[in-house]
Amino acid sequence: MAAKERGEQLNLPMLVAHRGASGDAYENSPAAFRAAVAQHADGVELDVHATADGAIVVHHDADLPERGAIGALPAREVLAHRLPNGEPIPLLSDVLTILGDRDVWVEVKALDAAHDAALLRTLDAAPFPNRLAVHSFDHRIVARLGRLRPALSRGALLVAYPVDPVAVMRAATATTLWQEWTMIDADLVETVHAAGCRVIAWTVNDEAAARQLARIGVDGLCGNSISLLRRAREAA
């Protein structure tokens, strides 16, 4: 039985590769995404920015060394930049092809509304668009994309323990809470689940913590090492 199927059957959390399998290859690189596939991650988290001319590229930081802000550069300059492992910064479209039928959570770091359509076109053209979702710390972006594409799965990122997490999610039109793992407890999980929503814990790189989070019922564990998360899930 595949790991994803086993996890779903036993109501265990999905295993999400943070920026690809970033514990084994440089984060957000094609190599990291190929490694996540090879390691049978259930899902993958990645970060995107739009270039000045509307190309959607996968990269964590908003700026490139000695080049400046991605959002102020044309795509040809961004794609010419080499990551520390020697690979180019990839287009989101190319990464989605690598990842195939896995769940992919696209963290939108920042996005001018002028580039919303470009992002949505990229998602629509993916091999498995129904397996894609967006999330962001900027809940205004999440809500805006939700208005444009109500069927698109959406998540809200938090590094806080709000008094009413469900209200925060509803304001963002999100159905998944991406919560920093140290701010998750059983009460939070129960509250979110009671509203019919999900909790994904990030970034979990401690095996004991991952095991405890699995036991209290989080829906996903996002971390740099899929092997570590898999051991924790099997021990939960």
pLDDT tens string 53-76: 999 999 999 999 989 999 999 999
Q: Please spell the DSSP secondary structure of 120-155, one letter per residue.
A: HHHHHTSSSGGGEEEEES-HHHHHHHHHH-TTSEEE
What would the mean pLDDT of 141-165 be, rounded to a whole number? Answer: 98
On whether the CB atoms of residues 233 and 225 are closer than 8 A, the answer is no
Q: What is the dihedral of CA 195, 8, 203, 40, to 10 degrees?
A: -150
pLDDT at 223 over 80: yes
On whether the CB atoms of residues 133 and 106 are closer than 8 A, the answer is yes
What would the mean pLDDT of 1-15 be, rounded to a whole number? Answer: 57
pLDDT at position 11? 79
What would the mean pLDDT of 42-59 be, rounded to a whole number? Answer: 98
Q: Mean pLDDT of all residues in the chain?
A: 95
pLDDT tens string 127-146: 999 999 999 999 999 999 99
Element (H, E) at 97: helix 92-99
pLDDT at position 8? 42
How far apart, in whole angstroms, are the C-alpha atoms of residue 190 and residue 15? 20
Residue type, 138: D
**Tokens 């190309």 found at:** 55
136 strand-pairing partners: 156
pLDDT at position 10? 54
pLDDT tens string 166-214: 999 999 999 999 999 999 999 999 999 999 999 999 999 999 999 999 9
pLDDT at position 83? 98
pLDDT range class, residue 5, cuts 50, 70, 90: very low
What would the mean pLDDT of 2-7 be, rounded to a whole number? Answer: 39
pLDDT at 162 over 90: yes
Helix (H, G, I), strand (E, B) or coil at 45: strand
pLDDT range class, residue 7, cuts 50, 70, 90: very low
pLDDT at position 90? 98
pLDDT at position 49? 98
How far apart, in whole angstroms, are the C-alpha atoms of residue 135 and residue 172? 10
What CATH topology corresponds to 3-47+102-235?
TIM Barrel (3.20.20)
pLDDT at 9 over 90: no
pLDDT at position 6? 37
**Tokens 């190929």 found at:** 34
Q: Would you state the structure tokens that stand for residue 9, as one six-digit string?
A: 């059957």
Q: Which residue has the higher pLDDT, 67 or 7?
A: 67
pLDDT at 18 over 60: yes
Q: Would you state the structure tokens that stand for residue 24, as one six-digit string?
A: 């084994």
Positive or negative, the CA dihedral 74, 72, 97, 172 is negative
Q: Please spell the DSSP secondary structure of 160-220, one letter per residue.
A: S--S-HHHHHHHTT-SEEEEEGGG--HHHHHHHHHTT-EEEEE----HHHHHHHHHHT-SE
Q: Would you state the structure tokens that stand for residue 30, as one six-digit string?
A: 């094609």
